[in-house]
Structure formats: C-alpha cells, structure tokens
Amino acid sequence: MLFVRHKGYPSTYLRGDQVAKVLVARCIDSMDETENETVVFVKAASPSDVQKAKEQGCTVAYDVLDFFCYPDRALPWAYSVDVLITPNSVCTPIYKAFFPNARQVIIPHHWDPRIKGVAQHDVPRLGYIGAVFNMPKCAGSFEIVVEESKMLEAAKEFNLHLAVSRREDLARILKPATKIATASAVGACVIAYMDPSATELLGEEYPFYVRGTLDEAIDDALRAFGTERWQKARSIMQTVGIRTSLPMIAEQYKQMEAAYA
C-alpha cells in the first residue's frame, strides 16, 4: 500500500504519514512508479497523479476526510476512484453521486498518538480545542484552545470536551468525529451533537448529546459530574478510545486492501 498526501493540507499528516508508518508503508507527496498496488490519496490529489496510478494498474483509494464539507470544492478525477474511505454510513448515498464507480468503506478518524496524559476527573473542566471558525456560540463559559501548537498538550487538561463544529447540513453529515477521538485519547467525556459520525461511535444512548440548546447540554453535563451518567459516558469514551486508536484504524486499512485490491 502507498499513501499520497497533499502538502496543502496539514491534516493529511495524520491519515497519511501516521497510518503509513504503522503499516510499514510509504507516504509521499506525489505519485511515483509504483505499479499494481493500492494507492491511498489523502484528502486531495492532482489529476495527473490519479491518472498515473490508474495507468500503472493501481487500485485508487481516496480518503475524503472533510474535503466536501466546504463549498465550491470539486474533484475532476472522482470517476477514477475505486474505493472511497468515509467516516460514517449516512455519507453513502451522498458520496455515491460524486463517486459513481467507487465502493465505499467506513473508517473513523483516529486520535493522534502524540497526545499524552490522561484527564483527571476530580472537578469538572470544560474546554474547546479546535479552529476558530468551528467554535461554538453559546453563553456558557469554557476554556478555548485555538492555537494549533497547543492543541495536543491541551487535550488532557479537560475532562469534558466540546466536540462540536459548524451546523451546515452537509458538513454536519460528512465531517469525521475527530474531536471525539481526541477526547477519547485522554479518557475525557464529550458534549456532541447527534451527527452521524458521533452517533456511530458513541451510540444512541450516550448521555451528553445536545438535544436542545448547546447551553442546556453544557449545564446538564456539568450537573452530572461524578454521577452514574458521567461514569457511563466515561465507559463509552474508553471504548471509543480503543476503537479509534491508530493500530485499530490501521488494521481497517489492511482489511480494505484485502477486500478491494
């Protein structure tokens, strides 16, 4: 298996370099002379690279990540994709229209193994880690970490993560649950909307979904600190942490290659 990342998107480091390292595979910036292998293009690629992979007899896999969560993005080589990697099953009919020739496989986003430490559950500590444009708008007070250089270190500082993002319909359906995976890495709970990527990881019975307003969900989770509901959330997040660990996700890439190469 060969990974081809797009240097224009820093996020491709996780799904390119990190996954490739576990699989003892190569991760490069542009297609080389590799023949008759599975080539995973991560988030974006040049049409010439995809064409070259096809001409060299490779199976073209595309890890879409959040590429289509933003308007006015198109892939002129979408018809060439043999296997499409998506974050949840609700994406399937939407992506079928974009990638008519592709078989689809669901592989959730993993948490970054550079995250170290464990969140302490002594007192409730609520925080948001992420980009400014995704930052939730609510009246509640919480700590905010938007500087990329501080995000990994900050994960363990919060035992309750705001795993929320923009509410546009398409982004809500297509976006991977990266913030949930990040929280699971340190054993924290999350407050999340019932978006497809979230519910397929957490299950319908997870205690701290946003079912009304975000402020109401925050108040509810903080009041539940230390209770049976809090412990249930921790238990679910522990399972998510195992499921979205890098070795587990890398194993799904192996299964994909075996099934579709």
Q: Is residue 132 part of a domain?
A: yes
Q: pLDDT tens digits for 16-40? A: 999 999 999 999 999 999 999 999 9
The model's pTM: 0.94
Cα-flanking dihedrals φ and ψ of residue 61, to 5°? -105, 145
**Are 219 and 255 in the same domain?**
no
DSSP annotation of 89: G
**Are 228 and 239 in the same domain?**
yes
**Are 132 and 227 in the same domain?**
yes
Contacts of 223 (CB under 8 A, 6+ apart): none
**Are 232 and 172 in the same domain?**
yes
Cα–Cα distances in Å, from 193 out to 3, 32, 35, 138, 246?
Answer: 32, 41, 43, 14, 24
Cα-flanking dihedrals φ and ψ of residue 81, to 5°? -75, 125
pLDDT the model gives residue 189: 98
Cα–Cα distances in Å, from 239 out to 110, 125, 248?
Answer: 13, 21, 12
**Are 188 and 254 in the same domain?**
no
Rg (CA), the chain: 19
| pLDDT interval class at 71 (50, 70, 90) | confident
| Rounded Cα gap, residues 107 and 42, in angstroms | 13
Across the range 27-55, mean pLDDT stands at 97
Single-letter amino acid code for the residue at 178: T
How many domains does the chain contain in total?
A: 2
State the residue range of the domain holding 252.
2-109+246-260
Q: Comparing 153 with 71, which gets the higher pLDDT?
A: 153
Q: Please name which of 218, 250, 208, 8 lies closest in space to residue 111, comparing C-alpha atoms.
A: 250
The answer to whether 192 touches 202, Cβ cutoff 8 Å, is yes
CATH number at residue 164: 3.40.50.2000
What the block records as the tokens of 144 is 């905010």
* Across 137-151, 176-190, 247-261, least confident range: 137-151
Q: What percent of the chain has pLDDT over 70?
A: 98
Q: Is residue 116 part of a domain?
A: no
Q: Is residue 10 part of a domain?
A: yes
pLDDT the model gives residue 165: 80
**Are 142 and 220 in the same domain?**
yes
**Are 54 and 153 in the same domain?**
no
Q: Is residue 115 part of a domain?
A: no
Q: Is residue 117 part of a domain?
A: no
Q: Is residue 18 part of a domain?
A: yes
Single-letter amino acid code for the residue at 67: F
Longest C-alpha distance within the chain, in Å? 59
Q: Is residue 121 part of a domain?
A: no
| pLDDT interval class at 139 (50, 70, 90) | low
**Are 67 and 47 in the same domain?**
yes
> Per-residue pLDDT for 167 more than 80?
no
Strand, coil or helix: 153 = helix
**Are 105 and 137 in the same domain?**
no
**Are 237 and 181 in the same domain?**
yes
Q: Can you tell me which residue has the tokens 């079928």?
A: 96
Q: Is residue 251 part of a domain?
A: yes
Q: What percent of the chain has pLDDT over 90?
A: 86
Kind of pairing between the strands at 26-28 and 189-191: unpaired
Across the range 218-225, mean pLDDT stands at 97
**Are 76 and 132 in the same domain?**
no
Q: Please name which of 206, 163, 166 lies closest in space to residue 185, comparing C-alpha atoms.
A: 163
Cα-flanking dihedrals φ and ψ of residue 134, to 5°? -95, -5
Of the chain, the end-to-end C-alpha distance in Å amounts to: 10
**Are 150 and 172 in the same domain?**
yes
102 half-sphere exposure, CB direction, 13 A CA radius: 27
